[in-house]
Each structure stands twice: as structure tokens, then as C-alpha cells.
Amino acid sequence: MVRIIAFTCVLVGLSLHAIGQEPLRMGYVEFAPYYYTDKDGNARGHMIDMANAMAEHAGYTLTFRSYPPRRLARSVVMGKADVFLGMSTLADFASGVLISSMPIDTIELRAYSLKPMPAINTKEDLNGKRILLLHGYSYGDWFNHIKDPSNNIEYHMANTHTQALIMLERRPIDYLLDYKLPIAFATHEVQTPKLYHHDVFTLRPRMMVSKMHPHSEEVMKKFEEAFLALYPNGVEHLKAQYLPKPE
């Protein structure tokens, strides 16, 4: 009888510990439909849904906070945010985070234009062109090439995808380098002429956990297990509900 009571106490103690566990803090950026803040101030998007599902499967709860892209990276490294789902190629992520062994989604980069233009197959194809980029987003080693004065590239920066579409229409720009789904989302917020595009390359976001979290390795292990269990066939089906319906 004493052993049964003792064992019951242990189980109750473990349950109370799990219930009282601090929520994981997930940072995100405004990158609809992957993640964004709705009009009521709530975090939304298919990666938010993924994160909530994986956290529940792994025995965690999440809180969310939106950051500017560069500040997000620093916040994860410094431990102000515990978890991020996204591109691991930013320089700030070179140390200070655990990165999942598998990609969890795809993000397609495209070159958009207002008239038919030659395809952009390599970064050298941008030489001598006028291009538009998004502040704070990852273009890999292409950005260093774009900034190099010897390549004679005139580049401009937009703060949002909707602003980028407006700038593309109003300024003498050859290409907008932007992302497929966010542009699809933005075209229903601002009227634009017909857009031409070419696929440039595909990025593969991953899960990241701040090494400042005291149980970072355990968190990563459980999130990877949850992803494999919940999404064995990928996550493409999750995106459809967030894309504007054709009129």
C-alpha cells in the first residue's frame, strides 16, 4: 500500500511539473502565408499551425511574438525566443542555435517583371540590371554579388511585399526578387498589372532551437520526432487554406 501511494505521488508530481512547464517562445516574421499577424493581433499562417501541432505532439505549449527579420535572428541566438521555423542561412545563426537535420518546407524565390524578360539562372545574369529586394530576407550569397559595385547592379529595397509590388510598377526596375507564396498573398492586397516570372531557386527552411534554452537538445529531438510523425508526406496541403481564393 505504501509503495502504491508513493508511486501515485510520483505520477502526480510529474504531471504537475508538465502542467507547470514554461511555454516555449516562438519568434516569427511577417511573411504571409507562412506566418503573419492577423487584424486581431494573433499569430497565423501554416507554419504557425505546424508549430502548434508539433509542440502539442511533443508535450509543449507555445507563445508567439513577431520580430523584424534581423532582430528575430539575434533574439533566438540570445535566448529571448526559444524556437524559430525558417531559413537557417542568416549569418546570425552561424552559432548559437541547433538546426534540424531535415528541412520542413520549401520557399521558392522568383524573378518578377512587368514585361517578358530573360530568365535569371545565375547571379551573374543580374549584372547591369536594376533590381528590387526585400529588407531582411535571405538571398544567400547572391546578396554579396548584388552589392559588389564591379557587377554594375542597381538595387533598391522594399520593406513589405505589397510595397515591393507598388515600387515595381512605379520605378524603372527590371526584376523584383521575391517569394512565390508571399507575392501570391500580396497580389490580393494591392492591384498590380500582369506579372511575368521565372523561378530562380528553392530555399528549404528548417527548425531552430536556441542553445540558450536549458533543454535545447531535448526540445529539438522532440520537435523532429513530431514533424516526422505528423507530416510524413510534407506540408503542401497546409498552405492552401491561407492563399486567397481566385475571384
Give pLDDT tens digits for 116-151. Answer: 999 999 999 999 999 999 987 768 789 899 999 999
For residue 82, what pLDDT is reported? Answer: 97
The answer to whether 194 touches 116, Cβ cutoff 8 Å, is: no
Q: Which of 12-16, 111-115, 142-146 has the highest average model confidence (pLDDT)?
A: 111-115
Contacts of 150 (CB under 8 A, 6+ apart): none
Q: What is the pTM of this model?
A: 0.80
Cα–Cα dist 37/92, whole Å = 24
Q: How many CB atoms lie within 10 A of CB 115?
A: 9
Q: pLDDT for 31-89, tens place per residue?
A: 988 999 999 999 999 999 999 999 999 999 999 999 988 799 999 999 999 999 998 87
Q: How big is the chain, counted in residues?
A: 247
**For residue 33, cis peptide bond before it (omega within 30 degrees of 0):** yes
- DSSP structure string for 173-237: -SEEEEEHHHHHHHTTTS-----EEEEEEEE--EEEEETTSTTHHHHHHHHHHHHHHH-TT-SHH
Composition of the chain by helix, strand, coil, percent to 5: 40, 25, 35
Q: How many CB atoms lie within 10 A of CB 4?
A: 8
Who has greater pLDDT, 239 or 105? 105
For residue 16, what pLDDT is reported? Answer: 36
Q: pLDDT for 161-220, tens place per residue?
A: 999 999 999 999 999 999 999 998 888 778 888 899 999 999 899 999 999 999 999 999
Where helices occur in 83-206 by DSSP H, the ranges are 142-147, 161-170, 180-186
